[in-house]
Structure 1
Amino acid sequence: MPQKQKSEPQSDRNPQSNRDPKQSMSWLLQYLRPVKWRMLALLLLLLATTALQLLNPQIVQRFIDQATGSGSVSGLLSLAGLYLAVAVLNQLFTVSVDFLGNDVAWRATNQIRANLLKHVLRLDMRFHNVKTPGEMIERIDGDVTNMSNFFAMFIAKIVGSFVLLAGILGYMFVYDWMIAATMTAFTCLSIGVMFRIRDLGVKASQSERQANASLFGLIEERIAGIEDVQANGGVPRLMNRYHRAMRSVFLSGRKAWMLRVMPWNVTVAMFTVTVTIVLLLSVRMYLQGHITLGMLFLFFQYTQMLNDPIEQLGDQLQEFQKAKSGMRRARELLSLRSEIADGDGDELPPGPLSVSFERVNFGYGEDQRILHDISFKLKPGERLGLIGRTGSGKSSISRLLLRLYNSDSGVIRVGGADIRSLRLESLYRRVGMVTQDVQLFDGTLRDNLTLFNPRLSDETILETTERLGLRPWIEAMPEGLDARLSAGGASLSAGEAQLFALTRVFLTQPSLVILDEPSSRLDAATEATLQRAVDQLLEQCTGIVIAHRLATLDKVDKIMVLRQGRIIEFGPRAALAQDPSSEYARLLRADRQEELA
């Protein structure tokens, strides 16, 4: 028996995996490749926009020189018209760059979201038992949104800033090397400082995202249990926890922000010194007659323009730190591996499936053993009734059969095949389950009955609901199968919800069905209707029925009684019922006495 694998981040097994820039870039490029042509178009637009930005100050310079000299009115009007046309064109290009940048970002990051969600849905239940939906929303959407914000402006701001810097400095070297050298020194120092401390706020940003995830998890968890919170006076305690979580968000967010703005603060100080030097040199050259008034304006304008790309680089460096923390958390999530390894077998015999447990042991934790040495066999088409006190291991057997968990040791066979050798899709196609809590989704009746399977026709759905007694209720709805249900199923009674769950299983035509206390919340009349539906379902397949009410087990073939994770009785129902010394017979007597009382 191979040792059970534990779900753990790959980064824990290889601490350098999330810190290797080459791996990070390779991981990122796989999402950017599908949008490479849009990125090329974005780059071309960006070059055109940069050219227009460099052109406008030169038009103003010529306008000033002609206005202070002997320029004609028509020439000045032409320059003014040209300036206006370039400004409008520049604005159009800027809007196009923003639009295309966001388009590229959302196309790339939406695929990351899809991959994260798909990966999380395939992780085993040990992972989901310790993660709240609120935390997962933050991991799948919140972290990726930070990445999207960075990607949206990466080319437009980062690449564009470098192109603009190169254009300004190149132009200035043509006119005056001293001013150009001053501006170049400022640029190199600013970029060097920013890149030197670019990761300063990454770790703090990760802590900020984790604090947000914890807050969302707390809110989601308490809203989901609002009835218990209100009924037991838990609102003050909840608000106390909320305020503590918000304080953690505030403190971690403040620390992350202060570290992220550090590069910007440094560049502001250096820019102030640079502007002063350039202005002094320019005014001196003007007073000496080496440059015109228009050229003085041009030098000043280019110096001011120099600050824009530096500032944009600083802003994007903050976004980069957020994006990098999100990227690390996303890669960490994707590196988690489920302990449920998919097999490669597809073959299961047609018709009802046999079931066997061979010395199976299982626990949800290393020190929490639930099942002890469980062994039994069911022939194809047999029905097993599982009974036992709460915590005896009944539901754990069903979860192992569906491979929501792996057993710690032993072998489980369905249709004669070890379930670990089967593809999960093949197993789920032949095994159906109705749980105590029926999950309904925001969608139509049809979507909820078929679980969004478009291959099932309305005729098949209505024929199945007719057999289960649910069709009159559907036909009473104004829109029939197109009527919408809200998430959670607040519009359905417990009986209707259970019939919904049975219909889902009917529609999959399973060969093995597990019913986990399907009538636990029903009244006697609704339970009778449900029991007839269950009897119809079990005519075509092998069945395992977990029940507290012994009356629901009148038609099963075998009974298994569990106590503290061990089988204390297993055999034909009729024989156990007639044996006054059996545990099942004792439970039947106790059940009858309770009814009489």
Structure 2
Amino acid sequence: MPQNKPSSISWLLRYLLPVKGRMLVLLLLLLTSTGVQLLNPQIIQRFIDTASSQGPLDSLLTLAGIFLVLAVCSQLLTVLLSYLGNDVAWRATNRLRADLLNHCLRLDMRFHNLKTPGEMIERIDGDVSGMSNFFAMFVVQIVGSFILLAGILGYMFVFNWPIAIVMTIFTCVSVGAMFVIRDLGVKSSQAEREASAVLFGFIEERIAGIEDVQTSGSVPYVMRRFHLAMRNVFVRGRKAWMLRVVPWNVTVSLFAVAVTAVLLMGVHLYITGQVTLGALFLIFQYTQMLNDPIEQLGNQMQEFQKAKSGMRRSREILSMESEIRGGTEDSLPEGPLAVEFSHVNFSYNQGNPILRDISFRLEPGERLGLIGRTGSGKTSISRLLLRLYNLNSGVIRIGGVDIRTLRLEVLYRRVGMVTQDVQLFDGTLRDNLTLFNSRMSDEEIWDTTGKLGLRPWIDSLPQGLDTHLKAGGASLSAGEAQLFALTRVFLTKPSLVILDEPSSRLDAATEAALQTAVDKLMEQCTGIVIAHRLSTLEATDQIMVLGGGRILEFGSRQALAQDPKSGYAELLRDDRQEELA
């Protein structure tokens, strides 16, 4: 049965409750600040009345001194409220950012194939920033505004109830109108955020492919697409802004009517001698003060609409579930693992099969060489072994266990993969090699890097394993990056290793030296080598030739090489002819 989604309020409380202590301090500061704001006009009223009646100078100086002290205190309280409000907002929304990132990292590859990195940055940070801006001043301005309104109206009912009734009507109508149209710009704000996410995704994608864009002369095309994306952001942003300012425009119109009525009543009371000049100023000042919280509520309604659109988009991400579900099995046989595919069918998109009825078995400790044309399904087999995608049908077993019944952590701990793309993180060389596993000793790192030939490069660095690397891998050559990837995988001591073109970036001499080290490291595990260079398959036991998603050949490497009718033997002949040429 589908679970009921929590309400927006309960969802927000989940992130606000951890900072409830700071929010309590914030509320106390708000009450103090409101009291100071309500007291100041009364000090000025007494000053004016005392001056009008030619009262003693000492009293005027005392009132002026009190006013200055209260003004300074008011400014200090404003600074504290702003600081604490932002502190509460960032602490709460940073938890949301962490939850969003953690959730996205656990979603399956189908999701990430549809979302560009730039779009995901906007979803995780941009949307939440809109919520942070709202939360930063929500307590300060929303709660503070209502407290100030209550204080002003309460005092005015004591001072002059007819004027207080006019001010109350204005307040109720303004707040009611804002409440009725509070969601007016939410959908448009959501569309604005979506357009912004598309723009950021477009920029990230084109910058990542800058070499292809420049060499193919596609800059004018890219700029045209950029202008179209920017126009979409502008059009949607303009519509969202126009809808968001409706509450503010409504309150401005209502205030003009209210202030006219209150001032006319106040002037009438002064002319008829019912109030003093200071009291008339007090009425005017409180009327102006009444507009400030109303205006703040209007501004916060705009922020609320942006925050609610961000909230909806964040909840949309958090409600998504990965199609990859881990099992409960947490044990595999020790040592090298057998691999078995039984009638496996797979497609990335419905109606476009990539693998068709794949069945084979690899014994523990054996090495399989995978060859085939681009699009034959070689990489798809490796992705299925790591459960990056689910099968359409069939069964894959590792160590005799259906991988769908295994906990994902167990699978990833025993299966390692080296891809052609090497990802570096912002951190030390040691952290990048061990993937932040502090339990791995330096002796293990030195032993593996020495076997793979990466040790001389590490020794040349000024701080060795403590050298700081930047994200992206710009500090590594192509060959060093390949050695880096091999080291990272073999440090985990896997039972099954998948090597996707392990020597594609290496020269012939380095490849030959590396092959000996890889052979030694793979003595304790089962191996699958995906290769275009047939020379990298000389140490494999079995060969599989794929074509059109089907197994064209599968058998002993030596037997296939000696069979002149086999496709593998034909590829070997073509390879030798290319070398002679």
Q: When the two structures are superposed, what TM-score results if normalisation uses the length of structure 2?
A: 0.98
* One-letter identity of the residue aligned with 1:555: A
Say if 2:99 is the partner of 1:115: yes
| Residues 496-532 of structure 1 deviation map (CA, whole Å, 9 limit, x = unaligned) | 1010001101111101000011222322122223322
1:190-223 CA-partner distances (Å, limit 9, x unpaired)? 0011111100000000010011001000100000
The letter of the residue matching 2:335 is G
- Aligned residue for 1:414? 398
Q: Which of these residues, 492, 502, 508, is aligned with residue 508 of structure 1?
A: 492
CA contact (8 A) 2:497 2:526 kept: yes
Selected match of 2:515 from 531, 550, 556 = 531
Distance in structure 1 (CA, Å) of the matches to 2:428 and 2:548: 42
Distance 1:350 1:586 in 2: 38
CA contact (8 A) 2:186 2:309 kept: yes
Give the distance between the partners of 1:390 and 1:258, measured in 2 at CA. Answer: 52
Deviations 1:14-36 (A, max 9, x none): 9x96xxxx611111111111111
1:407-486 → structure 2 map (5 Å cutoff): 407-486=391-470
C-alpha distance after superposition, 1:415-474 (max 9, x if no partner): 111111111111100100000111222322212211222222223212221111111111
| 2:368 is aligned with 1:394 | no
Match of 1:584 in 2: 568
| Matched AA of 2:536 | T
- Equivalent of 1:165, from 115, 129, 149? 149
* Distance in 2 between residues matched to 1:279 and 1:332, nearest whole Å: 50
CA deviation after TM superposition for structure 1 residue 70, in Å: 3.7
For the 8 Å contact 2:482–2:505, the answer to whether it is kept is no
Gaps of 5+ in 1: 1-9
For residues 410 and 421 of structure 1, the distance between their equivalents in structure 2, rounded to whole angstroms, comes to: 14
In the other structure, the counterpart of 2:37 is 53
Deviation at 1:585? 1.3
Query: For each residue in 1:313-347, what CA deviation from the matched residue of structure 2 results, as whole angstroms up to 9, or x when unmatched?
Result: 00100000000000000000111111100111111
Correspondent of 2:553 among 556, 569, 588: 569
2:23 corresponds to which residue?
A: 39
Identity value in percent: 73
Amino acid at match of 1:37: G
Q: Distance in 2 between matches of 1:491 and 1:44?
A: 52
Give the letter aligned to residue 191 of structure 1.
V
Where does 1:104-503 land on structure 2 (aligned, <5 Å)?
Answer: 104-503=88-487
Distance 2:327 2:319 in 1: 20
Q: Distance in 2 between matches of 1:452 and 1:386?
A: 32
| 1:38 counterpart letter in structure 2 | R
**Match in the other structure for 2:57:** 73
User: What residue is the counterpart of 1:4 in the other structure?
Assistant: none
**Deviation for aligned residue 1:271:** 0.4
Separation of aligned partners in 2, 1:529 and 1:193 = 77
When the two chains are superposed, the root-mean-square deviation of aligned CA atoms in Å is 1.3
The corresponding residue for 1:6 is none
Partner amino acid, structure 2, of 1:176? N
| Cα distance, 1:126 vs structure 2 | 0.5
Q: State the one-letter code of the partner of 2:87.
A: D
**Does structure 1 conserve the Cα–Cα contact (< 8 Å) formed by 2:372 and 2:545?**
yes
Structure 1's consecutive aligned runs of 4 or more residues displaced over 3 angstroms after TM superposition are none
Letter aligned with residue 29 of structure 1 = L
Q: SS at 2:396's partner residue?
A: strand
Moved more, 162-171 or 441-450: 441-450
- 3-state DSSP class of the match of 1:157? helix
Could you tell me whether the CA contact under 8 Å between 2:44 and 2:278 is conserved in 1? yes
Compute the displacement of 1:100 (Å): 1.1
- State the shift of 1:368 in Å: 1.4
Please tell me the residue identity of whatever aligns with 1:291: V
Write the deviation string for residues 517-549 of structure 1: whole angstroms up to 9, x where unpaired: 122232212222332232122111000000011
Distance 2:54 2:229 in 1: 70
Residue from 14, 17, 29 that aligns with 2:13? 29
Residue 377 of structure 1 and its aligned partner are, at CA, apart by 0.7
The 2-side partners of 1:129 and 1:197 are apart by 38
Aligned-pair CA distance for 1:254: 0.5
**In 2, Cα distance between equivalents of 1:445 and 1:234:** 37
Query: What is the CA-CA distance between 1:567 and the residue it aligns to?
Result: 0.6
* 3-state SS, counterpart of residue 575 of structure 1: helix
* Count of aligned pairs: 581
SS class of match (1:539): helix
Q: Provide the C-alpha distance between the structure 2 equivalents of 1:212 and 1:527, rounded to a whole number of angstroms.
A: 46
Residues in 2 aligned to 1:371 and 1:320: alpha-carbon distance in whole angstroms: 49
Q: Distance in 1 between matches of 2:405 and 2:507?
A: 42
The runs of 5 or more residues in structure 2 that have no matched partner are none
